[in-house]
Structure 1
Amino acid sequence: MVVKNQIKLIKSLHQKKYRNLHGLFLVEGVKTVEELLDSGLRVYGIFTTDVSILKGRGDYQVLISESELKQMSSLKNPNTVLGVFYKPETWKVDFKDWVVALDNVSDPGNLGTIIRLCDWFGISHLVCSKDTVDCYNPKVLQATMGSIARVHVGYMDLSQFLRESGQQVFGAFMDGQSIYGAKLPSSGILVMGNEAHGISEEIRALCHKKIGIPQFGKLTAESLNVATATAVLLNELRR
């Protein structure tokens, strides 16, 4: 049975300040909830209108009504299951492979897609500047399609991280050397910048090499979407 205080708590998790205050976040949808359960994250509770959907997960499940789910959900049409999880503990970056770093990426859909891309290309660590959108934003989590369970995402002072990493730093720039001709090491840090302004001057100064994606079209597009650019660059890093 769900009490009003629980509904109030879960609704508050739509806002970053309350996610930080309680150390909790929520996800919606059967697939994403299942993947987070399989990841070993500590569970606060699984709230569902149909307890038969998540078989073998009875210990966590709380049966709720459609109206209660609508009160908790951030979606216009809630998807049967809503999970509340404790945020993972802090982690140490492993520099044996490539690391992706984001400098003030602000769009939730872009961050969610980049997390999903990291999962696809086997990038385990994603480092975000403190002004990058929160990875536990419900819109970000929807866009990850469960990949948040397999990619370590951390927020820190990006300039300090780059200075202390001891790694080669590759920044994505419009005027950078073509990625198709660049000599790339087996590990390093790939920095992607803000949707409107790119990589900041402070972070630009810490990039050892500027790389980019050449334009082949005759019409001049302003730029590539940051998530699309990340997909192209990660493909080349792995190729």
Structure 2
Amino acid sequence: MVTKNQIKLVKSLQQKKYRTQHKLFVVEGKKTVFELIEAGLEPFQLFVDAKIENGEFKDFEKISASELKQMSSLNTPSGVLGVFHMPINNSIETLDWVVALDNVRDPGNLGTIIRLCDWFGIKQLICSLGTVDCYNPKVLQATMGSIARVNVVYIDLVNYLKETPQPIYGAFMDGESVYTSELPKNGVLVMGNEANGISAEIESIISKRMAIPQFGEQTTESLNVATATAILLSEIRRGG
């Protein structure tokens, strides 16, 4: 029997301050919950709607649809909800490319970028302290389980970039075309804020400016940051 305190705790994890306090986060949906378990993330509590329980949820607590709805951040809960311990891994490997985000604020953009990193085999994603929380429910929904396979670290981005031995590439409107650039086997790819791009402080540290050339009529100001990340990572992997 689920208690009121359990429901209250799970519901509170929709807010960053409580996720940070308890070092816990919530994911919803059978596919994502099972992916995180298979990836080795440690579950804190697992819940399933008693009406859909069919024997494959042996370690899940069976609860009613109304109890699940109280916990869920979705208008229509999926029937499966997991509470997981946040992984503790702040080490950053630099043998391959690293993606760094400078104050990306939209949860959908961050979730998509995490999924792109997973697709292109980028294991390290560095986020400035002003970037949206990767355990935000909307971010997790957009990652489609990729959060389990990408090491996301929040860090003072300026200090990190000043100290890293890797070459630092930034996405700009006026940079060299990525299609003609010779790209190394490893480096840091910096992507900027949706409205303001890469901040001036970080821009001064970047060693090479890259751009995605526009082929159509000049009516679009810029690409969405997640779309731009997809194009740049594709070229990085094609060149590598």
Q: Do both proteins adopt the same fold according to a TM-score greater than 0.5, normalized to the shorter chain?
A: yes
Shorter-chain TM-score category? over 0.9
**1:74-127 per-position Cα deviation (integer Å, ceiling 9, x unaligned):** 000000100000000123111110000000000000000000000000000000
Is it true that 1:62 corresponds to 2:45 in the alignment?
no
Q: How far has the Cα of 1:53 moved from its partner?
A: 5.2
**Residue of structure 2 equivalent to 1:3:** 3
**Residue of structure 1 equivalent to 2:166:** 167
**1:172-223 per-position Cα deviation (integer Å, ceiling 9, x unaligned):** 0011110000110000000000000000001101100000100000142011
Instruction: Call closer, same or farther: CA 1:106–1:53 in 2, change over 3 Å.
Output: farther
Is contact 1:159–1:203 with CA below 8 Å preserved after alignment? yes
**Residue of structure 2 equivalent to 1:31:** 31
Is contact 1:115–1:147 with CA below 8 Å preserved after alignment? yes
SS in 2 for 1:25: strand
Is it true that 1:42 corresponds to 2:42 in the alignment?
yes
**1:26-66 per-position Cα deviation (integer Å, ceiling 9, x unaligned):** 000011001000111111011110463572x523x111111
CA distance in 1, matches of 2:193, 2:53: 43
CA distance in 2, matches of 1:213, 1:9: 45
Q: Aligned letter for 1:11?
A: K
How large is the RMSD of aligned CA atoms in angstroms?
1.0
Q: Aligned letter for 2:143?
A: T
CA distance in 1, matches of 2:89, 2:54: 32
CA distance in 1, matches of 2:218, 2:127: 33
Show structure 1 runs of 4+ deviating over 6 A. Answer: none
- Unaligned 5+ segments in structure 1 are none
SS in 1 for 2:70: helix
**What TM-score results when the alignment is normalised by the length of structure 2?**
0.97
**Residue of structure 1 equivalent to 2:115:** 116
**What TM-score results when the alignment is normalised by the length of structure 1?**
0.97
CA distance in 2, matches of 1:125, 1:64: 37
Q: Aligned letter for 1:10?
A: V
CA distance in 2, matches of 1:102, 1:54: 42
Identity %: 63
SS in 2 for 1:221: coil
CA distance in 2, matches of 1:72, 1:123: 33
